[in-house]
């Protein structure tokens, strides 16, 4: 669990598509609106996040709904998620559960952790180390975009741009 000041609370600001690869990207922004982190995710996770952001009601539970329901059925609560590492252009996350006085940490992909956090309305924290490292992601290694160009794209995005891309 977070034990010091090295984490920043963030919220999902939207989903967009990488302009070169058409891969979904979830955008996290700190609560003061100063820093934005792009995390490339899969189409299924993007659909799950989009469904929750848009409050789409489905007749049957999606996988993230199933996990939430299972955790609650076992008498536990999902209390927070954190994006706590970034290695080789891959983000890592942890979902924190609480059952009685016991706290449980579960390793997760950030996209899954974010989809679950949205469903239970719990906070999303990102390590300050990850925030710093995300500014230096080598997007050229995966053939995505020129170094530094993604920051320019993020800075030019307007609030009305979010949600205009269909998943």
Q: Which of 130, 47, 122, 31 is nearest to 90 (CA)?
A: 130
For residue 20, the model assigns a pLDDT of 86
Q: How far is CA 122 from CA 9, 13, 97, 133, in A?
A: 11, 15, 11, 24
- Model confidence at 153: pLDDT above 70: no
Work out the angle at residue 137's Cα, subtended by the Cα atoms of residues 105 and 38, and round it to the nearest 5 degrees: 65
Tokens at 100, concatenated: 């009685």
Instruction: Report the alpha-carbon distance of residue 85 to residue 102 in Å, rounded.
Output: 24
Residues 6 or more apart whose Cβ sits within 8 Å of residue 164: none
For residue 27, the model assigns a pLDDT of 96
For residue 166, the model assigns a pLDDT of 45
The tens digit of pLDDT for each residue in 103-152 reads 999 999 999 999 999 999 999 999 999 999 988 765 544 455 454 555 55
Q: Give me the domains of the chain, ranges plus CATH numbers.
A: 7-161 (3.10.690.10)
CB atoms within 10 A of CB 115: 31
For residue 21, the model assigns a pLDDT of 86
For residue 65, the model assigns a pLDDT of 93
Mean pLDDT of 151-165: 55
For residue 165, the model assigns a pLDDT of 47
Which residue in this structure is represented by tokens 């997760």? 108
- Model confidence at 75: pLDDT above 60: yes
Can you point out the beta strands (E) in the chain? 7-17, 24-30, 36-40, 77-87, 90-99, 102-108, 124-127
Model confidence at 19, pLDDT cuts 50, 70, 90, reads confident
For residue 49, the model assigns a pLDDT of 95
């Amino acid at each position: 669990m977070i034990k010091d000041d090295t984490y920043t609370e963030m919220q999902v600001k939207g989903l967009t598509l990488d302009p070169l690869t058409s891969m979904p990207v979830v955008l996290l922004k700190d609560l003061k609106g100063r820093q934005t982190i792009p995390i490339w995710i899969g189409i299924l996770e993007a659909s799950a996040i989009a469904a929750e952001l848009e409050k789409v009601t489905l007749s049957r539970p999606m996988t993230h709904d199933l996990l939430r329901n299972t955790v609650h059925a076992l008498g536990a609560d999902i209390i927070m998620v954190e994006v706590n590492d970034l290695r080789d252009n891959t983000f890592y996350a942890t979902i924190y559960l609480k059952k009685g006085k016991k706290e449980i940490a579960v390793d997760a992909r950030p996209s899954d952790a974010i989809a679950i956090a949205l469903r239970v309305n719990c906070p999303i924290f990102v390590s300050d180390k990850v925030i710093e490292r995300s500014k230096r992601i080598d997007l050229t290694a995966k053939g995505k975009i020129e170094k530094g160009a993604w920051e320019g794209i993020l800075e030019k995005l307007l609030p009305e741009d979010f949600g205009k891309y269909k998943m």
